[in-house]
Structure 1
């Protein structure tokens, strides 16, 4: 049964973004790379170019556990405050169990439903085209956004960030 209450709220996340461990983005990125490599070895996660979409349930379980370990160890980096936001295992578990079962993007005939896919899910994945977080000049914004919007494979898209004022 899904818990309709809140384990923590968004204001708590903002507080953590303002009070978490101070760290330079480059240092966080280095930790991320090192930890990811370490977890790949620990959980024996290997890419097989002959099997681009693996169906190995044990591999899926190991990847999930590695992702949990990575998230709990490193937290989330907030670029605005240059701080690390950390969560407990209980908070993560609550979020995974109580997250939305579907989110809708767009409107009218362009509405797209996004849902969590399970291992061996028969439904097609939703194809996002996005440059979110990518800084671009004002001159490049429209051509980039247009290229995403006209891509037939895209179920939904988001534009980049304009860096000029």
Structure 2
């Protein structure tokens, strides 16, 4: 189901409203986030950063759904966002590890950029369905969220994500 969302075949409405599924999606998000952040940082710092990222994502989603009067869709949308992020970010783990070993592997940067653009498109797709807005507005919200969250993480932790 989450792969279908990542390939734009389904939306968050197709995700069952389940606290257990949301919890598993958040857990997957946190594990992948800690692994990614832990590639270049200490593990305890990676855990703190991953938790802050997860809370920021939930806060952003809650605010967006609140403003669009879509709070009843919060659980399904949050599950879709966390799970799809975990799936796409999992693909980044070997690429980032490869860069740590071979920083001059320029082709990896192309794949990472494409992965990042796909991730933005998936977030935009999920937001489009959850907020009943156009894909391009959803994409703009996704981009705005990524830029703001990056800046917040820089202020809080003083390094790039």
More helix by share: 2
TM-score normalized with structure 2 length: 0.31
Larger radius of gyration: 1
Q: Higher relative contact order at CA 8 Å, sep ≥6: structure 1 or structure 2?
A: 2
TM-score normalized with structure 1 length: 0.31
More strand by share: 1
